[in-house]
Structure 1
Amino acid sequence: MTRNKRLTIGEGKISGYLSIFLAIVCFGTTICAYFPEYLTTSDFRALYKPNYVRWALLGILALSFVFALTSFILSKKTKLGFFAVLIIATTILLGTGIPEYQEIDSKSITIGLDWLLLDILISAFIFIPIELFLPKRLEQTKFHEEWKTDLVYFIIGHLLIQVTGVLVQLPSVIAFSGIGLSGLHEWTQGIWFLPQLFLALLVSDLFQWTGHYFFHKLPFLWRFHAVHHSTKDIDWLAGSRTHFLDLIVVRAISFLPIYVFGFSISVFTTYIVIVSIQAVLAHSNTRINFGFLRYVFVTPQYHHWHHSDDPKAYDKNFAIHFPFIDMIFGTYYPMGKTWPESTGLGDVKFPKGFIRQFIFPFIKDPANSNEIENPSER
């Protein structure tokens, strides 16, 4: 497979892409300010203080301009800085017409554009520098041939956060609401914060392990989970490549014990943050091995073996948080200090693009898809 050239420091492209990225985030934030009732997540609105948001926006715009200027200075060949300045100017013009803050009407259906912008900004700020300066696969560029597909998964998954949230909680609500769990909830919330947080991570990981296991072992479910394993270029964005059915079912299974135990708000919030960060970290392209902690928590090395196309590592390392769960159930891969040479589905040819990958599991078994060719490869 042909690899794109890695970005090199000093060419002006890194600063150019950063300037465009930050400018787009600011542009999207400005659009949210015009239509908050439709484009913002109701659960987050209380956190948005107009003055703080305005100053944060100006700060990010200024940083974007600095990166654009750096790109101009380092290279007059690239036009990335020019495009960034255009987006910055457009954002500033739009920002002058933002209406004064007023009470936001709650709509039954909203698009989580604010959640998308916030999460991609934080994730990119944490993981892009890690992958840029401490990569495991040196030949893997940030703009490999699969990155656009993974970005589409990331965008759609975040924009539909309200829909997925309702669907994930629905089985728990139907099965356990109204059966008198208040006593269990009071007992759970009476536990100290750290033990309660550990319990939340443990029970959710046990249920997640179960759902994950069956998505590997049952042929029909594997059709959908194979979408996640189809990526050959594992990085922080690749973790978003999950078929919608796979996403909803496994998350719903993981949410069952969270709903039943009724953990405190502080524990639940911390749990969500840890799950979000660890899910991205586990897929990131970084050589950091975390020392002895790799035996305590799931790390990139651990999860990359789960994605390995080496048959001896198939159906191993299902856990999301704690490796000892795989040790208990006999699905632990003794990785030592080694990393898989490659990831993906081996010789199986998988369709490219979000739409084709969404349809594919309904009409074809990935295990028998060697004869499929992508139009671009013909």
Structure 2
Amino acid sequence: MKQLVSGIYAPVFWTGFIGWALAQPDWLVLVFATAVVVSFAMEQWLPYEPQWNRSLGDRWRDSVHACVNEGLNVLGLLVLPGLTALLAFDGIWPRGWPLWEQLLLAIVLADAGITLMHYASHRIAPLWRLHAVHHSVQRLYGFNGLMKHPLHQMLEATAGLLPLILLGIPLEVAQLLALAIGIQLLLQHSNVDMRLGRLRWVFAWAPVHRFHHMKYGRAGDVNFGLFFNLWDWLLGTAFYREGYRMGPGDLGIGSRPDFPVAYGAQLRDPFVPVRVGKEPPLPDDLR
């Protein structure tokens, strides 16, 4: 039974919850809340790494990160109609398309902008200092996708949403996009033992994204995509090692094992001097 669920979990979770949202777009809060409950329940029943289900004193902090960043998303949606009216070029967005086609277009365009900002955040020092908060995690589970410095969250959201605003994205489609991003983040950082097969070449779900969180310096500069791996193929940063099992000792920022854990300290960290140590050696199986 577990082997079967492992093979179908990711595509069923993704299409099921996004499909539910498309069918009942007025129920988005319920859809996302249900997705969170299912994600956490599955991590307990079918964990990839059982140790990642145990709190390291980070559960409250991650919950605060999630609430703050989801609050920023809601605020962005509240001001979206005004921004669209002010900035959009009239008539460009294909409002006559079916809703699912408009959402797919929004996902593809937002994915490109967010992925490029993510890539830049590993190349430009001030951006990395903000993004490092996300990479400091010592375990991977569903809420890690929302564990970000709020300034970096806003930069990524701007990179993904600004092109859509200029095109005149309708509020309904933007709300569905926000829901789809939340569903994707739950899958991307999930501690469910999911098997993707050939889908790993297309979707940036957990078995692919775990390699992005490696603590071995530049070795983790791979798999930047939010939704799809297409951009990583184009950037030359796609990576997957069949048979390598990521574990607790593989995660974090190797040069900063003492990265602050408390929420307030993480907000301050990008703006204070830090001492960077030596990177740990890359395991032979990852070379």
TM-score tier by shorter-chain length is: 0.7 to 0.9
| 2:260 match | 351
Whether 1:362 and 2:254 are equivalent positions in the alignment is: no
- 8 Å CA contact 1:229–1:345 kept in 2: the answer is yes
Q: 1:177–1:310: structure 2 CA closer, same or farther, 3 Å change rule?
A: same
Whether 1:236 and 2:236 are equivalent positions in the alignment is: no
Equivalents in 2 of 1:248, 1:336: separation in Å? Answer: 34
Equivalents in 2 of 1:134, 1:317: separation in Å? Answer: 24
Q: After superposition, what is the alpha-carbon deviation per residue over 1:249-304, rounded to whole angstroms, capped at 9, x for unaligned?
A: 11011001221223455543432221110112111111102222222211111111
Q: Which residue identity does 2:67 align to in structure 1?
A: I
3-state secondary structure, aligned to 2:234: helix
Q: 1:150–1:178: structure 2 CA closer, same or farther, 3 Å change rule?
A: closer
Equivalents in 2 of 1:354, 1:307: separation in Å? Answer: 20
Q: 1:286–1:224: structure 2 CA closer, same or farther, 3 Å change rule?
A: same
Runs of at least 5 residues in structure 1 that lack an aligned partner in the other structure: 1-46, 49-114, 372-378
Q: 1:202–1:144: structure 2 CA closer, same or farther, 3 Å change rule?
A: same
Number of residue pairs the alignment of both structures matches: 251
Aligned 1:123-138 pairs, distance under 5 A? 123-138=35-50
- Return the offset for 1:347: 4.0
| 2:115 match | 209
Aligned 1:101-180 pairs, distance under 5 A? 121-159=33-71, 161-165=73-77, 173=83, 178=86
- Return the offset for 1:161: 4.8
| 1:262 match | 168
The partner residue of 1:325 within 197, 212, 231 is: 231
Q: Which residue identity does 1:360 align to in structure 2?
A: D
Equivalents in 1 of 2:215, 2:263: separation in Å? Answer: 22
- 8 Å CA contact 1:350–1:369 kept in 2: the answer is no
Q: Which residue identity does 1:243 align to in structure 2?
A: H
- Return the offset for 1:156: 2.7
- Structure exhibiting the larger radius of gyration computed from Cα positions: 1
3-state secondary structure, aligned to 2:193: coil
- 8 Å CA contact 1:289–1:300 kept in 2: the answer is no
Equivalents in 1 of 2:45, 2:139: separation in Å? Answer: 17
Q: 1:300–1:286: structure 2 CA closer, same or farther, 3 Å change rule?
A: same
| 2:3 match | none
Q: 1:310–1:352: structure 2 CA closer, same or farther, 3 Å change rule?
A: same
| 2:194 match | 288
- 8 Å CA contact 2:53–2:141 kept in 1: the answer is no
Equivalents in 2 of 1:361, 1:179: separation in Å? Answer: 32
3-state secondary structure, aligned to 1:364: coil
Equivalents in 2 of 1:184, 1:329: separation in Å? Answer: 28
- Return the offset for 1:183: 2.0
- 8 Å CA contact 1:212–1:318 kept in 2: the answer is yes
Q: 1:224–1:123: structure 2 CA closer, same or farther, 3 Å change rule?
A: same
Equivalents in 1 of 2:86, 2:177: separation in Å? Answer: 25
3-state secondary structure, aligned to 1:140: helix
The partner residue of 1:219 within 104, 125, 128 is: 125
Q: 1:119–1:294: structure 2 CA closer, same or farther, 3 Å change rule?
A: same
Q: After superposition, what is the alpha-carbon deviation per residue over 1:142-188, rounded to whole angstroms, capped at 9, x for unaligned?
A: 43332221122123334455445568x59x93xx7556612212xx2
- 8 Å CA contact 1:310–1:340 kept in 2: the answer is no
Q: Which structure ranks higher in relative contact order (CA pairs < 8 Å, sequence separation ≥ 6)? A: 2
The partner residue of 1:278 within 162, 184, 188 is: 184
Equivalents in 1 of 2:133, 2:40: separation in Å? Answer: 24
3-state secondary structure, aligned to 2:116: helix
- 8 Å CA contact 1:305–1:339 kept in 2: the answer is no
Q: 1:178–1:235: structure 2 CA closer, same or farther, 3 Å change rule?
A: closer
Equivalents in 2 of 1:299, 1:239: separation in Å? Answer: 11
Q: 1:370–1:166: structure 2 CA closer, same or farther, 3 Å change rule?
A: farther
- 8 Å CA contact 2:32–2:182 kept in 1: the answer is no
Equivalents in 2 of 1:310, 1:340: separation in Å? Answer: 12
